[in-house]
Amino acid sequence: MARPTPELINALRQTAHKLKNGAPYQWGHMGGCNCGNLAQELTKLSKDQIHRYAMQRHGDWNEQAEDYCQTSQMPIDLLINEMLNAGMLLEDLKHLERLDDRQILVRLPLEKRHLKHNVREDVVSYMTAWAELLEEQLIDKITLPNLQSFELV
């Protein structure tokens, strides 16, 4: 599971919001699919740029994650590296394309857990639940000083 970072949480929320409000979504387009839309938000690249980068190598996002090399200078690897720097793991790319991470799915109502990977509304639900999970994890990491140890003046 991704590291809970404010950057990733915000990107997930923004992507879900944009998709909900009609941003271009196309399952078969590497820049307009689930990962592609999140990549747009994290990298500020256009869907067409992302698609061009991905087409320099074979495969979908799952295969791109499998073939990722952090020392490569291929544009798709540089793009994936930006996503990883935001807190994601390679496994998150695979799960996002299929909407199948169990930790995220269990947060949805039972009747809403059978998501279709290429349905816009399901992508929005998944990203929203993922952002909420990461936000909770981030909040759990925050420790505040014990106020009793401070002397009041």
**Domain ranges for the chain:** 6-149
Question: Is pLDDT of 153 > 70?
Answer: no
pLDDT the model gives residue 150: 58
pLDDT the model gives residue 136: 94
CA angle 41-44-50, nearest 5°? Answer: 90
Question: Could you identify the residue written with the tokens 């390679």?
Answer: 90
pLDDT the model gives residue 27: 87
pLDDT the model gives residue 147: 59
Rounded to the nearest integer, the mean pLDDT of the chain is: 92
pLDDT the model gives residue 144: 65
Whether residue 64 contacts residue 76, with contact meaning beta carbons closer than 8 Å, is answered with yes
pLDDT digits (tens, 9 = 90+) for 61-100: 999 999 999 998 999 999 999 999 999 999 999 999 999 9
What residues have CB less than 8 Å from 105, skipping those under 6 apart? Answer: 99, 113, 115, 126, 129
- Higher per-residue confidence, 141 vs 2: 2
Q: What are phi and psi of 4, to 5 degrees?
A: -75, 105
pLDDT digits (tens, 9 = 90+) for 132-143: 999 999 988 877
Question: How large is the average pLDDT for residues 2-18?
Answer: 96
| Model confidence, pTM | 0.88
